[in-house]
Structures are given as structure tokens and as C-alpha cells.
Structure 1
Amino acid sequence: MRINNLDRYDDRITVKCNLIRAYPILQDFCKKHMDDRFYLENGQAVSPRDIIIRELISNTLIHREYLSAFPAKVIISRNEIVTENGSKAIYEGPLDLASFSPMPKNPLIANFFNSIGRADELGSGSKNLLKYVRIYSGEEPSLIEGNVFRARVPLVRNSKSFEIDPLVSDFVSNAINKKGYVTTVEVRDALGIDHKAAQRELLKLVSNGVLLAKGNTRARKYIAVSKDQ
């Protein structure tokens, strides 16, 4: 992890163990140094950060060229997370995440990770990465194939997004999970803030594309934006 000390590391781990043990160690390290961000999908709170980490770590472990002497790396900086991995490249250059057809490099490892729930079917990882990086930072990831495979995920939030009070995020998520909507009065009373402050927080979630306002001012309810909207 390089944020304050760009010449060395602010924090680091070296992982030398089997793939099953390596997965949670790398996952926990990334979670430690990446902000989590509130997002509702079909009325359920999901973590774009956790999905991004899952796809990056599983890709690093599954598709690595294990005959290569190049050490696999996961580097977190202030603005991005980058993975570097030895690879047996069939193609060299940037990959179009929306259209490329992946080739299995270690099918036995991929099938095993799929069977224990730590990876999805081939090709779904790149689609998940594209979708949830857009949600997380408002930008797009890049994958560059070669003898060293590099994945880059921007971590900087889209400048048009609003920061949301975590207490508001948690309350809104729980309320929508229970009954499908939340109101300004409920946020006001639950958090002990004035009516206008509660309304501002909900409107931020609307502006961020998380909530949708339904009804007129007095009877207005806020519902989750579905992924199809």
C-alpha cells in the first residue's frame, strides 16, 4: 500500500501459502485500505468494494502463469488499485471489457474456485468489474494483457457524487430492506436531525443514483433504484 510513502510502502504483506489461504489474506488486506461505499441493488445493500476486490484477487490467483518468476502484486495507492501478474499471453495489449472472449489459463484451478464459491463462470468477472467500478468511482477499469497481466481500478469517486453520512446510509438501507421505502420524517426522527437536513441527505442519494423519489412533497417516499432503471 503506497499512499504517503511513494518510494517504499506504508503497509505491506508477503503471502507465501496455498491459494485457499491466500484468498482471504489478500481480501482482508485490500478491505483494510479501501473505503466501502453505500449502494442499493434491487432494494438490497451491496458492497461494490467487496465485489471489486473479489474479482481482482480471484483473477490474480486463478489466471496466474505459475511457471513465471514474476511475483504477483496487488498495489493500492491513493487513487487506484493495480494488480500485476505473470501471464502466458495469447494476445498483447488493452482488453475491451465489454466484448472480449476470455480464454481459460488454469481451468482446473478456475473450476475449483468456482465450486467453492470464490469465482463465477469464465467471463463474468470482467463484466462485474466493469459494472461495479463504474458504481464505485464513476470511472472504468483497464486490463492490459501481456507477459505481465495488469489490471487497474480507479478508486477516486466521481466528482459529481455526493458524500453521504454513514448513519444515513445504514438507516436508509435497513428501512428499504424491511419495507421497500423510506421517508424524510423517518430519517429525521431516527437520526435526530432537522427536517431539511434529512431531506438534503436523501436528495444526495437521489443525485448519486441510489434512490428514486416517488410522490408529492408531503407523501414522498424514496425507493431503491433498480439496476434496470
Structure 2
Amino acid sequence: MLEAIQKLITRGESIDLEFKACAKHLPKNVYETICAFLNRHGGTLLLGVLDNGIIQGIEPEKISQIRKDFVTAINNPQKLSPTTYLSINEENIKGKKLIRIYVPESSQVHRCNGRIYDRNEDGDLDITDHTVQVSQLYQRKQATYSENRVYTWIQPKDLRSDLLERCRKYLQINHQNHPWAEMNDKDLLKSAQLLQIDPETKKSGITLAGVMLFGTDNLILQVCPAHRTDLILRKINVDRYDDRDLVRTNLIESYDRILAFVTKHLADPFYLEGIERRSLRDIIFREVASNMLIHREYASGATSRLIIEYGRVMTDNPSRPHGFGLINPNTAVPFQKNPILSAFFRVINRADELGSGIRKMMLYGKKYGGEDPQLIEGDNFRMIISVPEFGGDPAKKVKIVSAENDLKHEARQLTGQDTTEVTTKDTKYINGVHDGVHDGVHDDGVHDGVHDGVYDGVHDGVYDGVHDGVHDKPLTKTMQKIVQQLQESLSTPQLLNVLGYSRKTRNYESSMKKLLNEGFIEMTIPDKPRSKKQKYRLTEKGRKLLENLIC
């Protein structure tokens, strides 16, 4: 890193590099440079270096106060609006202290003291009074960051108020002093940059980020039809899958479902750090879940996937790359692909500060799965994470069969004969193999484990199948149609319409009641069954049923 900084100083100031003298205190114009970097393509600010590249350094006893003043200022909306988070690093070059601040490109247009600054070569330009340049800046931001796209036909009343209330209650409990905790829906959305003005029409509307966070499933489908997170377990049936969850809902509930799928299928070995027990699985996959959702390129038509295989988990996420190949966490510069979504997830504690989540993943990844996680940048951002396994690969398990019943079949496999005739030599060979495997299994003590596993599996499978066949009536055609239509949440009028009913019929009400009682579907507002905003959606049990119906 020291060599890299020396190369920067040698290169001199440019459109993405600025030097500031800072022996005892911050210069006043440092925030104008921060604003300009945010509005242009980002850049690096070196404090303690003169304009001509001479290293002046910062007095060591002043560094702590300088850091404090800087953080306070960039979080003050009267100084910088909207506020931002920046990482501050202390460096030591030739015995002199410097501060290095990396400023990523922002998806927003920022103002410093109410003025808009842009970057040109090695200078900061005030473009506030230049209407054309300001308009071009807004348009460039919207074109670069798809999360900024404004839908003027979508207003706060069209979003899910229950999700907004859920976030507000979380803040009231965990961050009582946060201003969002007491704001109404419209003010909260404005403050979070989810309700913006379209620079072309001058009308306000909800952004793509706002729809993805708080939109109904139907609304999300309209603005982002390709949105889907495919969660797959592939251990036994490696050609298809053993379990699957297709997540097509808002990002807040998508996060919960990703973690629920991981918790269901991955082990969480006991790990003690000092005197405190830590869940390495939860630490790692909390970062994985948030990364998949907030750093995705939603303008892409590609599907985001998380695949659990034997000994590893792989993710595949559409992205806007800022490099290609394997990422080195020690030298990589963090980049926010969707800054608004990232900021919101940090506020509700669904994500860590920029860069710290990846550091945690790398810190605990090897301790959890035995190997360092791999992060691969490209048009699709990929992660490969090793996970612990406590048993052999189920896809390669040994099947113990009766030599007497399968003798001819084994003979064909071993000798390559198509005939049903088996020679005495073949029979002796097969019996020898069978006895060897049988004795080996018994002598190693594996027999009990295999016997118990097979017995329990067969017993449970037969019992459940017989029980279900005897006690559960098959689904009627109407019930099947309802399950197939509820791939997204629908209200009663919407459901009647897609089913072709003009009104509620006895058959419809009976089918809905049975599906609710059996736990295949659920109400979105269970506390108010007669609410006008009431909708119905599939449960986990219902989604599995749907997969069987489709198959």
C-alpha cells in the first residue's frame, strides 16, 4: 500500500486525485473536493501532501481531532447533502503521517453548503448556476445507477405500509435517536432518497430502489420483471435439486428467506471466541445475503442464484463490474454498486459498513469451512465459500444390496455380459465382492449407522405417505388453480379475476378455507382478516406443493 501511495504522489493531482495541506487542521475546501468526487467518478484524497507533491505530513497529536471533525462534517446534512460514509486510513510515508480517504462515485447528486460541485482535471467547479450542466449530471446519475430510476406513476401510498412500519418499529427499539423512527412514510422515503424528482418531467415518484424495498410483489414484477433469487440445494440429486426456493418478493423479506434457507441446510458448528460463542455460519451468510441483494444490477435480466453443494456454497449475482478476476481483499478498493440500497440496509442492520462485511467473511471463512472464500469479479459477481460437512458425500453413497436378488444384474455390470447366464467363476467373484463389502461394513461399525439411517428413512417415508394418503383428501382442481395463481400475492378481487369468477362461489370459499387450514397459503395481514388491503400468498409448504404441481 505504501508503494501504491508513493506512485500516486509521483503521478500528481488529476481528475481522481487531490492533495491537501493539513498540518494541524482540515482546510475549508476539503468538503468541496469530496462533493466533486461524489458527483463525478470518485477519487482519492491525500491529506498532508502539498499541491506540488511534497509530503508535509500531519502532526501526530492532531490526527485524532482531524478524523473526528471530518466524520462529523460529512454526516452533517447542512454541510454535505445527502450525507455519506467514507473510510479514513492513516498512512506513514518517510516517517510522516498522512490521511488517505477514498471517495467512491455516488448514485446521488450531492451539495456542499447548498452548492453543487463537479470535478474537472485537478479542480472543483461550482456548477450550481449552470442549468445545462446540472441537468446532465442528474441524467448521468440515473443512467449509471439503475436504482435511481424514478417512476412518477408510483407514489408512497402504492407501497407496503406494513414493511415501512416494520422498519420504523425496528429503529424505535434499536436506534431510538434515528430521525426515521418518528417520520411518516413520505418523509422517511424522501430522507432515504427513495422518493425523488424526475429531472426531465419535474414530477416526484418512487425510485427503483424504493420499489424493490417496499413494493408489492405485483409492483416489483412490473418495474423489474426479471427479479428473482434462486435458492437451490443440490447434494443428492446433483442433476436437478433436492430443495429449492424461488424468491420473487421485496428485498427485506428476500433477505429473511435467504437466511432461512441457509439455516435449514447448513451446519453451524460450535465456535468460541474468547468467552463468547459466535455463529460463524450466520456471520458469513449475513454478508452473503446482503451482498446478493444490495450489490445486484437490477437492470440485468440475469437471475441471482445461491447453490448449496457438498462442501461448498456458490453464488452468482448480476453486476456492474469494476474489474475482472479473483479479488484480493487486502488490496481491493470497495465500491458501492447501489449506494441507496446499501445505506438503507446498513440503517436497519442488514449489512455492515462498506468493506467491513467482506473482511469479516475472510476472517471467519477459513475457520468455518477450512478454506478462504473466493470472490470473483465480472459481469456476474461470484462467491465460493467452503462449508463444513459431517459425513460422506450423499451423491456417492454406497448402496448395499442383496447379492442373491441382484446377482444377475451385478454380473452384467462386472462382466459386461448382456446374457442372463452367469458362470460359476463370475458367481464366486461376485459373492467374494459382496462378502468383502458386507464384512468391511460390519467390522468398521458402519452397519449400525447405515441400518438406522435406512430404517428411519424408509419408516418415515412410508408412514408419511400412508398417513397423507389416508387422512388427506387430494387437492381439487380449484385448489390447484389457486396455488398456481398465487406465485405472487393477490387480493380477493385479483384472485377471482384470474380464476374467471365474477363473484365468490361456495366452491371458491371452500377451497380457500381448506388451503388456509392446511397451511398452503396465508394472509398478508393475518391480524385483520377483513382488511381492504388483505392479500393471500403461498407459504413455504405451498411453494413446495407448487413445485410438485409444475413438475
The bucket for the TM-score relative to the shorter chain is 0.5 to 0.7
Which SS does the other structure have where 1:12 is aligned?
Answer: strand
2:267–2:388 CA contact under 8 A, matched in 1:
no
Q: CA deviation at 1:132?
A: 1.1
1:100 is the counterpart of 2:329: no
Q: How does 1:3-152 map to 2 (within 5 A)?
A: 3-152=235-384
Q: CA deviation at 1:85?
A: 0.3
Equivalents in 1 of 2:255, 2:302: separation in Å? 19
**Cα offsets for 1:140-194 (capped at 9, x unmatched):** 000000001100001146xxxxxxxxxxxxxxxxxxxxxxxxxxxxxxxxxxxxx
Which SS does the other structure have where 1:4 is aligned?
Answer: coil
Equivalents in 1 of 2:366, 2:331: separation in Å? 17
Q: CA deviation at 1:102?
A: 1.1
What residue number does 1:205 align with?
none
Cα root mean square deviation, aligned: 1.3
Q: CA deviation at 1:99?
A: 2.5
What residue number does 2:387 align with?
155
**Cα offsets for 1:10-46 (capped at 9, x unmatched):** 0000001000010011100011110001111231101
What residue number does 2:65 align with?
none
Q: Which has the higher helix share?
A: 2
Equivalents in 2 of 1:128, 1:62: separation in Å? 17
Runs of 4+ in 1 over 2 A off after TM superposition: none
**Cα offsets for 1:70-102 (capped at 9, x unmatched):** 100000001100110000001011100232111
**Cα offsets for 1:79-126 (capped at 9, x unmatched):** 100110000001011100232111110000000000000111000111
Equivalents in 1 of 2:330, 2:270: separation in Å? 25
Equivalents in 2 of 1:137, 1:80: separation in Å? 8
Equivalents in 1 of 2:242, 2:277: separation in Å? 31
Equivalents in 2 of 1:12, 1:29: separation in Å? 9
Which SS does the other structure have where 1:14 is aligned?
Answer: strand
Which SS does the other structure have where 1:97 is aligned?
Answer: coil
The aligned amino acid for 1:126 is: I
Match of 1:2 among 231, 234, 237: 234
**Cα offsets for 1:182-220 (capped at 9, x unmatched):** xxxxxxxxxxxxxxxxxxxxxxxxxxxxxxxxxxxxxxx
Equivalents in 1 of 2:275, 2:356: separation in Å? 22
The aligned amino acid for 1:61 is: L
Higher CA-based Rg: 2
Give identity over the alignment, percent: 44
Equivalents in 1 of 2:303, 2:383: separation in Å? 15
Equivalents in 1 of 2:333, 2:372: separation in Å? 18
Equivalents in 2 of 1:99, 1:74: separation in Å? 26
Could you say which structure has the greater relative contact order, defined with CA pairs below 8 angstroms and 6 or more residues apart?
Answer: 1
Q: CA deviation at 1:64?
A: 0.3
Which SS does the other structure have where 2:352 is aligned?
Answer: coil
What residue number does 1:203 align with?
none
- How many residue pairs get aligned? The number is 158
The aligned amino acid for 2:379 is: N
Equivalents in 2 of 1:130, 1:115: separation in Å? 23
Equivalents in 1 of 2:279, 2:237: separation in Å? 28
2:374–2:383 CA contact under 8 A, matched in 1:
yes
Equivalents in 2 of 1:52, 1:11: separation in Å? 21
Which SS does the other structure have where 1:59 is aligned?
Answer: helix
The aligned amino acid for 1:111 is: A
Listed as ranges, the gaps of 5+ residues in structure 2 are: 1-232, 390-551
TM-score (norm 2): 0.28
Equivalents in 2 of 1:74, 1:137: separation in Å? 17
